[in-house]
Structure 1
Amino acid sequence: MNYNRHSSYDPYYYVKTYPFMSTADTSKRIRESQSADKFTYPQNRQNALALIQQALAGETEDRMFYEWLIEQAPTEEERQIIAGIRDNEIGHFAMFHQLFYEITNMMPQQVQGEQFIPPESYCAGLAQALLGEQNAVQKYREILYAMQDRVHINMMIEITTDEIRHGILYNYLYAKNGCTA
């Protein structure tokens, strides 16, 4: 099963070499082989803005999901962990809003997200949340690549590391509840 829905991952990409080519030729060939250069500004700017819009979409549905998950949590400790994650996500929404405005000098468009559908069980909700955090990290890296201002870079690092921490917390809750795939 491929959990890397956002983009493929090639662990050897960064060390590929082409025989009988100089280092400069190899670097040029690697750059040319990328279909969309996610590492080069300003080529990656529009993709980053689209990903920020995606991050802002569905705020209402996300809050409904967190409230549902908190209600399903069997212990006070778990409710507090999920509430803390929810509060971080609300802060991320504000930071993405600020980022978009500061980069474009325009307010982000209101985009309708997916409709909230309650998961089948608490464990299914934890699994959904865990995979959501993983996908968010991949998307947020691409936004980070397009940042030029140090403050914006720092904001994206904070958001991304929070998402990694959330994934660890969801993994803890998943294991604690004996959830299985």
Structure 2
Amino acid sequence: MYYNLQAPTYVPFQGYLGYFARSEDMVLKVILQSISGERNDELFYQELIQLAPTEKEKEVIRGIRDDERKHNQMFRNIYTQLTGTPPTGIEATEPIEHVSNYLSGIESALFGELKAFEKYRTLYLNISPLYRDMIFEIMTDEIKHASYYNWLYAKNNR
């Protein structure tokens, strides 16, 4: 007896999107959340820089912080292009986290970068192809940041 097997249809992870999946409202909502999230990350990393024990570690975190600023601007540009108006009234979607100590801050940053990558991957799959290159750049930066934070964690957890 032979079975006719079909490959399963790929369905992107919907955990961050709820019932808005595959709609313009969802894309705009995620972009607004991302603008807020990138700003929160920038502020968190600024605090983390102050706790970094070496100049090299400060330099790495400064580079990540500067990328978060760039992402914030990219998301603002995408939102403006999609809606015709700049984003306004953006409130923090998550409470601003403060750094309690360097090692736990690095751990929190590492998991935050990975979580952001997952969210942006879903955005990438649902946004107009015109904006995918920008989202791809942001996604690859997030993975790069996670790698740097992994290195910082390993270096300081001996």
**Counterpart among 110, 134, 143 of residue 155 in structure 1:** 134
**Counterpart among 95, 102, 105 of residue 122 in structure 1:** 102
Q: 1:148 to 1:64 in 2, by over 3 A?
A: closer
After superposition, give the CA deviation of every residue in 1:95-149 in whole Å (9 maximum; x if it has no partner).
Answer: 0001111122222232221343423210110011000000000000111112223
Equivalent residue, structure 1, for 2:58: 79
- Pairing 1:133-148 to 2, within 5 Å after superposition: 133-148=113-128
* Contact map agreement 1:140 1:156 (CA 8 A) in 2: yes
Equivalent residue, structure 1, for 2:41: 62
Equivalent residue, structure 1, for 2:156: 177
Structure in which a larger fraction of residues adopt helix: 2
**Counterpart among 88, 93, 99 of residue 72 in structure 2:** 93
* Contact map agreement 1:44 1:145 (CA 8 A) in 2: no
Q: 1:98 to 1:155 in 2, by over 3 A?
A: same
CA distance in 2: counterparts of 1:89 and 1:59, whole angstroms: 5
CA distance in 2: counterparts of 1:53 and 1:116, whole angstroms: 16
Matched to 2:35, the amino acid is: L
CA distance in 1: counterparts of 2:38 and 2:119, whole angstroms: 17
Q: 1:103 to 1:20 in 2, by over 3 A?
A: farther
TM-score (norm. length: structure 2): 0.82
TM-score (norm. length: structure 1): 0.72
Matched to 1:61, the amino acid is: N
Matched to 1:64, the amino acid is: L
Whether 1:45 aligns to 2:24 is yes
Give the secondary structure class of the aligned counterpart of 2:87.
coil
Kindly tell me the number of residue pairs found equivalent between the two proteins: 151
CA distance in 2: counterparts of 1:135 and 1:144, whole angstroms: 14
Give the secondary structure class of the aligned counterpart of 2:107.
helix
**Identity between Structure 1 and Structure 2 (%):** 35
Q: Which moved more, 1:79-88 or 1:117-126?
A: 117-126
CA positional deviation for 1:50: 1.2
Of structures 1 and 2, the larger Rg is shown by 1
* Contact map agreement 2:38 2:71 (CA 8 A) in 1: no
CA positional deviation for 1:177: 0.3
After superposition, give the CA deviation of every residue in 1:154-176 in whole Å (9 maximum; x if it has no partner).
Answer: 10110000000000000000000
After superposition, give the CA deviation of every residue in 1:44-101 in whole Å (9 maximum; x if it has no partner).
Answer: 4322221111111255533321111000000000000000000011000000001111
Q: Which moved more, 1:108-117 or 1:154-163?
A: 108-117
Q: 1:125 to 1:143 in 2, by over 3 A?
A: same
Unaligned runs of 5+ residues in structure 1 are 1-18
